Structure 1
Amino acid sequence: MNIDRYTKVILTVIAFCQCILVIRDVPIIKDALAQSGPVHVIVDQVQSYAFQYAGPIEVRCQSGCK
C-alpha cells in the first residue's frame, strides 16, 4: 500500500511539472505596444454635457497656434 501511494504522488508531481513546462510558454496576456509618435485626431462634435464633470484637459498646439 505504501509503495502505491508513493508511486501516485511521484506521478502526480511529474504530471504537474509537465503542465507547468507547457503553460509557461503560452502568452496569456499580450504585450502592450505604444505608438511610435503622435496620432492626428480631429474632433467632430462635443456635447455640452461632456465637460460638466470633467477635470482639466491638456491641449498642445503643434503648428500655427499662438
Structure 2
Amino acid sequence: MHVGRPWLRICMCCVYFLLLFLSLTFCSSIQTTVHRYFFSSSFLLLCLQIYTKDKRRNGREKERELYRL
C-alpha cells in the first residue's frame, strides 16, 4: 500500500494554498472573499483528483497481484 506518497502530496498542496491564502489576506476585503472561494474550491478539486488517482493505482496493483497468482 502506498500511504506515504499521496499524503505527502496533499500536505504540500495544503502548504501551497495556505501560503496563497495568507498572501491574499493582505489584499482588499472584496478580493480576499473572491480568492478565498476560488482557491478553496480548486483545492478541494485537487484533493479529490489526487485521491481518485491513488484509488485507481491501488486497484490496478490488486489486479496485477491477482493475475500473478
- Output the TM-score relative to the length of structure 1: 0.39
Greater C-alpha radius of gyration = 1
- Output the TM-score relative to the length of structure 2: 0.38
Point out which structure has higher relative CO (alpha carbons under 8 A, 6+ apart).
Answer: 2
Structure with more of its chain in helix, by fraction: 2
